[in-house]
Structure 1
Amino acid sequence: MKKIKQTLLRQTVLVASLTTATISVANECQTVQLAEPGWTDLAFTSGVAQVLLKGLGYEASVDILGMSVMLEAMKNKDIDVMMGYWDPAMDTYIKSYIDEGSIEKVAVNLEGAKYTYAVPQYVYDAGVTDINDLHKHAGKFKKKLYGLEPGSNNIILDAIAAGKYNLEGWKVVESSEQGMLAQLKRAERRSEWIAFQAWEPHPMNVKFDIAYLTGTDDTYGPDFGGATVHTTARKGYLQACPNVGRLLQNMTFTLDMENVGMGYILDDGMTPEEAARTVIRANPEVLNDWLKGVKTLQGGDGAAAVSGYLDS
């Protein structure tokens, strides 16, 4: 009888320990902290992640941070996930973190992206087809290149500092994606010359008549800065929170999906989560792949929970 009692006691302690461990893991993973650098494509994909995570019972929020601050925060485990490592365009910023293992690649979530400098089509038609053509028309460009927020323009700043493209003395105007696009809109309306940071996916490729410049293979990479976009996470996050990890590994996007979603944010004034809900409702079949093998925070049916959340 004494042995039976001891066995039952050990089993009770084991069950209690396992339960405590499960609760501890659930608590650790309950809040998912994402970040993005103020780019609309990442605002949209982060919004999709937020919607799915909330539907699964998690708490999820997104901070908008400068590139260097965001990466340091991931290294210090203050940020869990970042949906947009543009490879190779972002190597300047993130490669050292990947190499040291403080930030880990989770999955490729988009293929066919591009990222380099562009001009309006009328400027391209006037003979500016390569980045090495810019300096020939310095007066028309007022020796200015229009970039993104500070911390996101290191590639072109480093190129100028290294004496590339004969752009010594040119200024990179650092503002924001919205500020840069406003400047582009103003220049087009006045038929003025402008060179600006461009990328796809983005509604700018439909809204404006633009052309990408050749000649930046040595800085932005071949094929107009052709890139694959990776979801990334802080070191050890996938092992600590495997259910969230499975969701992140499942999530992939298309250029068309992101162009549409970003348009809802930029042109229709939707929040990233509203844009995400709108795109998902229009393409409900994507949930089959995104939620394959994914449970709720409490271990329930993930697909049913997210569907119910979207209908609420």
Structure 2
Amino acid sequence: MKKFTIVLSLFTLLFLAACGSSNEESTDASESKGTINLAVTPWTSTVPPTKIARIIIEDMGYEVEETQADVSSTFVGLSRGDLDAYMDSWMPAHENQMEKYSDSVEKVTTSYDNANTGLTIPSNLEGINKVSDLKGKEDQFGNKIYGIEEGAGATEMMRELIEEADLDLELVPSSEGGMLAQVQRKISSDEPVIFYGWRPHSMFNKFDIKVLEDDYKVFTPSTVNVLANNGLKEKAPDVYAFLQNWNISIDEVEEMITKIEDGADEREVAQEWIDNNQDKVNKMLENE
């Protein structure tokens, strides 16, 4: 009986030690290096880079939160440190916001460049290839241009272009989804339509459309940057180093947007990109 008690006690101690070790490992695994808050503007182009960054930053040991916000709120959040980083800042569209918050918001790197943006129409509308060709033809489009939300830099640029080109057109701001729904209705009915278009976007896969040459130079090819609160380098130097090395192509983003709109899970699409670009990801993490 005594021998049995000793054996049982030894077994109990080993079991408790194993449990303690398991719990300790679980605690260590669940310990976070902190929380990184990523801004997410309501555009399809924001989603793929943000989801990729989220997975990579989580793998680095951080909790990651995503905050949905328009452009104005994004810059306010970045300036206050409520938001740590933003993967989809368009220049020159966000030039005014960058100047306003230059003391607290910084450009970390360029994600991609030569992103074409501007007034966009169906390709079958002949004789209209540049913005100045619209003059005198505004009534063909119901005297309306469909755009994205108020507060976006592109919305103000469209107003500037309408005035600069002296066009008899009313800008109708909406969400990206609302604008594209209107475009879908017009194109399906074979009606002329003018709207704000940009790459990367699945609209160029779904519709036969063209971006008009801007002979007034209001819209020029855009550069898309990664921004951060200027305290991120100190708060999470490894995350900052990763973001400094970040880059992706327009074609890659456009391909992911199309997959997501066709029903694929956002995170799975992002993980697929990481799996297919592991060498590139490793280089991004070299100095973290």
Provide the TM-score with structure 2 as the length reference. Answer: 0.82
2:238 pairs with 1:234: no
Q: 1:117-136: per-residue Cα shift (whole Å, max 9, x none)? A: 1111012xx21212222242
2:64 pairs with 1:65: no
What pairs up with 1:163-202 in 2 under 5 angstroms?
163-168=163-168, 170-202=169-201
**Partner residue, 2:120:** 118
Say which SS state the counterpart of residue 166 (structure 1) adopts: coil
Supply the AA of the counterpart residue of 2:46: L
2:138 pairs with 1:138: yes
Q: In the TM superposition, what is the alpha-carbon distance from 1:171 to its structure 2 partner?
A: 2.2
User: Given the alignment, which residue of 259, 280, 283 partners 1:286?
Assistant: 280
User: Given the alignment, which residue of 52, 64, 88 partners 2:56?
Assistant: 52
**Partner residue, 1:102:** 104
**Partner residue, 1:303:** none
* RMSD over equivalenced CA pairs, Å: 2.0
In 1, the alpha carbon distance for the partners of 2:93 and 2:116 equals 9
Which runs of no fewer than 5 residues in structure 2 stay unpaired? 1-30
In 2, the alpha carbon distance for the partners of 1:267 and 1:172 equals 30
Say which SS state the counterpart of residue 75 (structure 2) adopts: helix
Say which SS state the counterpart of residue 253 (structure 1) adopts: coil
Supply the AA of the counterpart residue of 2:223: T
Sequence identity percentage:
29
Asked whether the 8 Å contact 1:92–1:155 carries over to 2, the reply is no
In 1, the alpha carbon distance for the partners of 2:231 and 2:60 equals 21
**Partner residue, 2:251:** 256
Count of aligned pairs? 256
Asked whether the 8 Å contact 2:200–2:250 carries over to 1, the reply is yes
User: Given the alignment, which residue of 235, 257, 261 partners 1:266?
Assistant: 261
With over 3 angstroms needed to count, the CA separation of the structure-2 counterparts of 1:247 and 1:151, relative to structure 1, is same
Asked whether the 8 Å contact 2:201–2:257 carries over to 1, the reply is yes
Q: Which has the larger radius of gyration?
A: 2
**Partner residue, 1:23:** none
For structure 1, which segment, 280-289 or 135-144, has the greater mean C-alpha deviation from structure 2 after superposition?
Answer: 280-289
Say which SS state the counterpart of residue 78 (structure 1) adopts: coil
Asked whether the 8 Å contact 1:132–1:166 carries over to 2, the reply is no
Provide the TM-score with structure 1 as the length reference. Answer: 0.76
**Partner residue, 1:309:** none
**Partner residue, 1:81:** 85
**Partner residue, 2:218:** 219
In 2, the alpha carbon distance for the partners of 1:270 and 1:172 equals 34
In 2, the alpha carbon distance for the partners of 1:204 and 1:148 equals 14
Q: In the TM superposition, what is the alpha-carbon distance from 1:216 to its structure 2 partner?
A: 5.1
Which runs of no fewer than 5 residues in structure 1 stay unpaired? 1-25, 295-312
User: Given the alignment, which residue of 251, 264, 269 partners 1:275?
Assistant: 269
